[in-house]
Amino acid sequence: MPCPNTDPVAALDWLFSSLEKDLKESKMWPIRLMQHKHQDTLRNLLAKHSQLIEEKYFVLQQWKVQKDAGQSLDLAVLTGVIVDVASIRDAYLGDAAAAAGLSKPKGGKKRKSADTSQDHRSKRPRLTPFISPHVLAQETAHSAVTWCKSLGGKLPPTDLVGRIGRTGCHGRHKGNIERDCQTVINTFGKRFGATISTAPIRMWNPKKSRIEVKNLPLIFPDDFASALWARSPQLFRKMLLGDGNVREYWEHCRNFCDWFRSHPSYNHPNNWDNMVPMSLYGDDVQTFRNSECGAMSIVAWSSDLSTGNSFKSRYFLITAFSEYEECAYTFNDLMSEISKRIIMMVTPKMAREKQYPWLKGDYSFMLSSLQGDLKWVNHTYGNLFDYRSNDFCGYCMCKKRHDVIGMTLGDFTASALHASTTRVYRHEDLVNRSAVYTIPGAHPKRILHDMAHSQYLGTGKTLNGGALVVLCETGLWGNMQGPGKYDEKLQVALQEAHADFLAWKKQNKIACTQPRFTLARVNRRHRQMWPVLNSKAIAGKTISFFLTERAVAWANRPNATLWEKTLATCLWSYARMVSVMDSAKSIFTEAEAEQFQEHCFVHLQAYANLNVQGFKAKGKEPGRNCFVLLPKHHFLYHAGVDAKETRLNPKHFMLLSAESFVGYVGRIGRRTHRSSLTLRTIQKYLALMHLHVQRLERGEQS
Whether residue 199 contacts residue 218, with contact meaning beta carbons closer than 8 Å, is answered with yes
Distance of alpha carbon 155 from alpha carbon 152, whole angstroms: 8
Residue ranges covered by each domain of the chain: 8-100, 197-382+677-691, 451-652
Q: What is the pLDDT of residues 233-262, one digit of tens each?
A: 999 999 999 888 899 999 999 999 999 999
**Helical axes 221-231 vs 233-241, angle rounded to 10°:** 130
Neighbours of 412 (CB within 10 A): 23
- What is the chain's alpha carbon radius of gyration, rounded to the nearest angstrom? 32
Neighbours of 613 (CB within 10 A): 20
Whether residue 218 contacts residue 318, with contact meaning beta carbons closer than 8 Å, is answered with yes
**Do the strands 294-303 and 315-322 form a parallel or antiparallel pair, or are they unpaired?**
antiparallel
Q: What is the pLDDT of residues 564-619, one digit of tens each?
A: 999 999 999 999 999 999 999 889 999 999 999 999 999 999 999 999 999 999 98
Cβ neighbours for 491, distance < 8 A, ≥ 6 positions apart: 518, 519
Burial of 373 (0-12, 13-18, 19+ CB in 10 A): buried
Closest by Cα among 216, 240, 213 to 228: 240
Q: Is the pLDDT of residue 420 over 90?
A: yes
pLDDT band, very low/low/confident/very high, at 65 (cuts 50, 70, 90): low
> For position 207, what pLDDT does the model report?
86
Provide the mean pLDDT of the chain.
Answer: 83
223 to each of 317, 338, 345, 370, 437, how far by Cα in Å?
12, 11, 10, 20, 21
Distance of alpha carbon 439 from alpha carbon 338, whole angstroms: 10
Mean local confidence (pLDDT), 655-673: 87
Mean local confidence (pLDDT), 364-374: 93
Neighbours of 204 (CB within 10 A): 20
- How do the residues of the chain divide into helix, strand and coil, expressed in percent and rounded to 5? 60, 10, 30
Whether residue 436 contacts residue 442, with contact meaning beta carbons closer than 8 Å, is answered with yes
Q: What is the pLDDT of residues 167-214, one digit of tens each?
A: 777 666 777 777 777 787 888 888 899 999 999 999 999 888 899 999
**Helical axes 656-670 vs 537-555, angle rounded to 10°:** 140
> For position 123, what pLDDT does the model report?
38
Q: What is the DSSP letter of 4?
A: S
Whether residue 292 contacts residue 300, with contact meaning beta carbons closer than 8 Å, is answered with no
Whether residue 374 contacts residue 633, with contact meaning beta carbons closer than 8 Å, is answered with no
DSSP 590-653: HHHHHHHHHHHHHHHHHHHHHHHHHHH--TT-TTTT-----HHHHHHHHHHHHHHHH-B-GGGG
Distance of alpha carbon 377 from alpha carbon 389, whole angstroms: 15
Whether residue 396 contacts residue 419, with contact meaning beta carbons closer than 8 Å, is answered with yes
Distance of alpha carbon 296 from alpha carbon 284, whole angstroms: 6
Q: Is the pLDDT of residue 114 over 60?
A: no
Map residue 203 onto helix, strand or coil.
strand
> For position 492, what pLDDT does the model report?
93
Backbone dihedral region of 350: left (phi > 0), alpha (psi from -120 to 50 degrees) or beta? alpha
Distance of alpha carbon 98 from alpha carbon 128, whole angstroms: 10
Whether residue 547 contacts residue 571, with contact meaning beta carbons closer than 8 Å, is answered with yes
Bridge partners of residue 693, in order along the sequence: none
Q: Is the pLDDT of residue 112 over 90?
A: no
Map residue 148 onto helix, strand or coil.
helix
Distance of alpha carbon 400 from alpha carbon 405, whole angstroms: 10
314 to each of 302, 346, 415, 423, how far by Cα in Å?
6, 19, 38, 32
Bridge partners of residue 278, in order along the sequence: 303, 367
Q: In what order do the strands lie in the sheet with 447-448?
A: 315-322, 294-303, 275-288, 364-371, 447-448
Torsion, CA 203, CA 206, CA 209, CA 212, rounded to 10: -30
pTM: 0.77
DSSP 250-314: HHHHHHH-HHHHTSGGGG-GGGGGGEEEEEEEEEEEEEETTSSSEEEEEEEEEETT-TTS-GGGT
> For position 604, what pLDDT does the model report?
96
Mean local confidence (pLDDT), 470-496: 91
Distance of alpha carbon 671 from alpha carbon 216, whole angstroms: 19
Q: What is the pLDDT of residues 122-146, one digit of tens each?
A: 333 333 344 555 566 666 666 777 7
pLDDT band, very low/low/confident/very high, at 636 (cuts 50, 70, 90): very high
Q: Is the pLDDT of residue 479 over 90?
A: no
Percent of the chain residues topping a pLDDT of 70 = 78
Sign of CA dihedral 209, 212, 214, 220: positive
